[in-house]
């Protein structure tokens, strides 16, 4: 699928260092070794690269940017949010660690595919950490957005191996979304078919958190 279809003019106005407009695609990937435990990461990546050309790197960088966002969100939340129950505090740290692992895996994969990992943007979460309720609500939004972003971009991944790895990540994001929704007394799986968002929708959702 042509990358040009994914270009959103608004992206040019966002200062996300090291990320091209075209790179803002799906989130996902390569946790090669982690997702396919028994295979060597190197072999997997070599295969993935051969099959995909350069497009998958752009998608991986899109994913990386979103994972940076989620990681930073939970890093700050773990330090700043007051009034969380013991379960919610443990959940926050668990999600933080998961997202951080996604960042590491994506970064390593992009490098091994010969690409340049997108730099971590500057984030500003505003008043999201002011209360338990606003934190959880924002987390809910971010996790649901993450799921829809991966689901929207995954079909454009060319390499079956990269797609499998992306799938391994989006499944975890969906689990996160359900867990956060449960502590908010919201239905964990509100729809029979999860939404797939294009980059415009994802951008709109995360834009408030990316500092200029």
Q: Tokens for 32, please give them.
A: 């090669």
178 lies in the site for another protein, by CB under 8 A: yes
40 lies in the site for another protein, by CB under 8 A: no
Q: What are phi and psi of 149, to 5 degrees?
A: -70, -45
- By CB under 8 A, name the one of 11, 168, 205, 206 that touches another protein: 168
Give the x/- contact pattern for another protein in 17-36, rule: CB under 8 A. Answer: --------x-----x--xxx
212 lies in the site for another protein, by CB under 8 A: no
Interaction with another protein in 72-101: which residues (CB under 8 A)?
85, 87, 90-91, 94, 97-99, 101
Do residues 38 and 74 make contact, with C-beta atoms less than 8 angstroms apart? no
Strand partners, 123: 210
Strand partners, 210: 123
Nearer to another protein, 188 or 208 (CB): 188
Q: Is 175 exposed, middle or buried (0-12, 13-18, 19+ CB in 10 A)?
A: middle
Nearer to another protein, 189 or 211 (CB): 189
CA distance 57 to 189: 31
169 lies in the site for another protein, by CB under 8 A: yes
**Torsion angle of alpha carbons 177, 178, 184, 186, nearest 10°?**
110
Kindly state the smallest distance separating residue 188's Cβ from another protein, in Å.
4
152 lies in the site for another protein, by CB under 8 A: yes
Do residues 77 and 92 make contact, with C-beta atoms less than 8 angstroms apart? yes
CA distance 175 to 46: 30
Nearer to another protein, 138 or 148 (CB): 148
Nearer to another protein, 41 or 128 (CB): 41
Residues that bind another protein in the complex, under the rule CB under 8 A: 1, 5-6, 25, 31, 34-37, 85, 87, 90-91, 94, 97-99, 101-102, 105, 147, 150-156, 160-161, 163-165, 167-179, 181-183, 185-200
């Amino acid at each position: 699928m042509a990358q040009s279809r994914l270009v959103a003019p608004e992206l040019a106005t966002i200062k996300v260092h090291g990320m091209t407009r075209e790179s803002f695609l799906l989130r996902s990937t390569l946790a090669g070794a982690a997702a396919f435990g028994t295979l060597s990461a190197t072999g997997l990546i070599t295969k993935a690269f051969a099959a995909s050309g350069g497009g998958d790197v752009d998608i991986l960088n899109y994913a990386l940017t979103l994972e940076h966002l989620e990681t930073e969100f939970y890093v700050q939340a773990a330090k700043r949010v007051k009034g969380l129950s013991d379960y919610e505090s443990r959940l926050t740290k668990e999600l933080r660690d998961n997202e951080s692992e996604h960042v590491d895996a994506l970064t390593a994969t992009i490098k091994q595919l010969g690409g340049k990992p997108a730099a971590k943007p500057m984030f500003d979460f505003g008043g999201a950490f002011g209360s338990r309720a606003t934190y959880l609500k924002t987390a809910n939004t971010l996790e649901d957005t993450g799921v829809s972003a991966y689901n929207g971009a995954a079909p454009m991944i060319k390499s079956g191996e990269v797609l499998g790895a992306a799938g391994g990540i989006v499944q975890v994001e969906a689990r996160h979304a359900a867990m956060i929704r449960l502590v908010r007394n919201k239905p964990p799986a509100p729809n029979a078919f999860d939404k797939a968002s294009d980059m415009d929708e994802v951008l709109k959702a995360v834009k408030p958190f990316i500092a200029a």
